[in-house]
Chains A and B, each alone.
Chain A
């Protein structure tokens, strides 16, 4: 544990310089953006200036449009993430414990991953309507696989020696599950949840593109149809913001639940 210290310190310094530099990098990006617009003499319906996007942002924020669509998408994302994660964990645990079940189901699960969600999203909208349900299902489909894989890997990675210990102490199946497997698999599982959180946002937007009358994906469609590129940018940035917040929340949960791990406090990925 002592030999890790220099590493941790250098990581911390790295993150700090990153944070200090953040305003500069953002300013630089905005400057480049302006330069591209001016030097290319681009029309606002091709690429609006950052100023125009900001103006549009304040406008839709002020009249409540942005938040209304934001909440819709967030609801789809959260419900989809919860449903997908639950299904993945419930499927993944027995899959990790039983070779036979794995051999039986693995081909279908892996094959199902080669079907692009974008391709079956229209089907889901046809079957379940243009409302909340189809979006939630698309989200959960997209987060299912990574969380499933992480559940299986996490449960399999529980040290055999600790299983021996629990067996020698005559632990019940429930005790082995709750006192050993859950905490031991938690780091890998939460890693999967982090990936899932960002993927769920993609799922919601895909669903809204296909058929919807609300949500940030719908807003992007509206903006595109009206050559209101500034609005498209506002929606895109809102989606990025949403994904970042979700990612951060999972990271925060990891810090809480995995405080026993030797990990630098400022680790972001």
Chain B
């Protein structure tokens, strides 16, 4: 058992977190345990305010946790790691930087910007479908395009783990579905371990290998569901009975 755990890419064990507020503490996470294997796509599904983002911020190293442990590639996680890329709910682009400059930011910060990495940047720009927009400023991008830039920026330093915090939450339904398919295409091309937070059941089932369902605060995992739909996933699959069954199961788990 412990040997199997030690071999997992990401291990979260008995993780609890609470915030100090006016009256004592607010328990957000209650003894959460799960694992994520390498190159696996895992979605975390939960009602809003359930502590999904808190968990993601802990995994990003942006938030401290009180008890339990988080092991990433066998090492205890304390603070931000270089091998992690994050896409936030808002695209979080620097408005004074062009598309290319925004994508290059992680390389610049780690002083890895050279001719070779610049070629990688160009390749990435093409992968996310932004060629021709390299020198555009964020103010002239649509919401979907801005989020593509954010995805490219999260991938540019070739992280092993990609954390996505409701990355399409601010987009309209159609753009959202298209971006989900795009994300799968990018994931296929780059084969990262992905941990994504969402509140959209069908998005979670469509994208993930496994979906974790969160209860209301303090959050516990109420269901750990393997999605055995074949890959590549096709938009039509959203309307198959198997898909509907799993969505139903998750909905029930969210309400429990």
Min C-beta distance of A4 to chain B, whole Å: 10
A161 to B92 alpha-carbon distance, docked (Å): 7
- B85-124, CB < 8 A from A: 86, 88, 90, 92, 94-97, 105-106, 108-110
Which 8 A-B residue pairings sit nearest by Cβ, starting from the closest? A260-B96, A183-B96, A171-B109, A168-B80, A161-B92, A169-B109, A169-B106, A262-B139
Q: Chain B contacts of A159 at CB under 8 A? A: 92
CB pair B94 A164 closer than 8 Å: no
A125 to B122 alpha-carbon distance, docked (Å): 62
CB pair B82 A165 closer than 8 Å: no
CB pair A175 B96 closer than 8 Å: no
CB pair A170 B86 closer than 8 Å: no
A172 to B96 alpha-carbon distance, docked (Å): 20
Please name the residue on chain A nearest to B150 by beta carbon: A165
- A159-181, CB < 8 A from B: 159, 161-162, 164-172, 175, 179-180
A167 to B92 alpha-carbon distance, docked (Å): 13
Q: Chain A contacts of B94 at CB under 8 A? A: 162, 180, 183-184
Q: Chain B contacts of A168 at CB under 8 A? A: 60-62, 80, 84, 86
Please name the residue on chain A nearest to B95 by beta carbon: A260
A171 to B90 alpha-carbon distance, docked (Å): 20
When A and B form their complex, what is the total count of cross-chain residue pairs whose Cβ atoms lie within 8 Å? 55
The answer, yes or no, to whether B140 is at the interface (CB within 8 Å) is yes
The answer, yes or no, to whether A261 is at the interface (CB within 8 Å) is yes
- B123-181, CB < 8 A from A: 137, 139-140, 157
Min C-beta distance of B240 to chain A, whole Å: 37
Q: Chain B contacts of A262 at CB under 8 A? A: 139
Please name the residue on chain B nearest to A163 by beta carbon: B62
Interface of A is mostly: helix
A165 to B60 alpha-carbon distance, docked (Å): 10
With A175-B109, A260-B137, A262-B139 as known contacts, state yes or no: A169 contacts B80, CB within 8 Å: yes
A91 to B57 alpha-carbon distance, docked (Å): 33
Most buried by B among A164, A165, A167, A261: A165
A235 to B80 alpha-carbon distance, docked (Å): 61
A161 to B110 alpha-carbon distance, docked (Å): 20
With A170-B110, A171-B109 as known contacts, state yes or no: A165 contacts B92, CB within 8 Å: yes
The answer, yes or no, to whether A1 is at the interface (CB within 8 Å) is yes
Q: Chain B contacts of A166 at CB under 8 A? A: 109
A162 to B95 alpha-carbon distance, docked (Å): 11
Interface of B is mostly: loop
Q: Chain A contacts of B88 at CB under 8 A? A: 161, 164-165
CB pair A179 B108 closer than 8 Å: yes
- A218-269, CB < 8 A from B: 258, 260-262
Residues 18-56 of chain B, each 1 if its beta carbon lies under 8 Å from chain A, else 0:
000000000000000000000000000000000000000
A262 to B82 alpha-carbon distance, docked (Å): 34
A260 contacts which of B62, B81, B109, B139 (Cβ < 8 Å)? Answer: B139
**Could you name 21 residue pairs across A and B whose Cβ atoms are closer than 8 Å?**
A1-B139, A159-B92, A164-B88, A166-B109, A168-B60, A168-B61, A169-B80, A169-B105, A169-B110, A170-B80, A170-B81, A171-B109, A179-B108, A180-B94, A184-B96, A258-B96, A260-B96, A260-B97, A260-B139, A261-B95, A262-B139
Please name the residue on chain A nearest to B107 by beta carbon: A169
Q: Chain A contacts of B109 at CB under 8 A? A: 166, 169-172, 175, 179
A261 to B140 alpha-carbon distance, docked (Å): 11
A260 to B61 alpha-carbon distance, docked (Å): 31
A169 to B87 alpha-carbon distance, docked (Å): 12
Most buried by A among B61, B80, B81, B157: B80
A167 to B105 alpha-carbon distance, docked (Å): 12
Residues 142-168 of chain A, each 1 if its beta carbon lies under 8 Å from chain B, else 0:
000000000000000001011011111
Min C-beta distance of B222 to chain A, whole Å: 28
Please name the residue on chain B nearest to A258 by beta carbon: B96
CB pair A164 B139 closer than 8 Å: no
CB pair A165 B137 closer than 8 Å: no
A164 contacts which of B62, B96, B105, B110 (Cβ < 8 Å)? Answer: B62
Q: Chain B contacts of A184 at CB under 8 A? A: 94, 96
Min C-beta distance of B32 to chain A, whole Å: 21
Min C-beta distance of B59 to chain A, whole Å: 10
Min C-beta distance of A264 to chain B, whole Å: 14
Q: Chain A contacts of B140 at CB under 8 A? A: 1
Excluding A168-B84, A175-B109, 20 further A-B contacts by CB distance (< 8 Å) are A1-B140, A159-B92, A161-B88, A162-B92, A164-B62, A165-B86, A165-B88, A166-B109, A167-B62, A168-B60, A168-B62, A169-B109, A170-B109, A171-B109, A172-B109, A184-B94, A184-B96, A258-B96, A260-B139, A261-B139
Min C-beta distance of A74 to chain B, whole Å: 32
Min C-beta distance of A106 to chain B, whole Å: 25
A165 to B165 alpha-carbon distance, docked (Å): 12
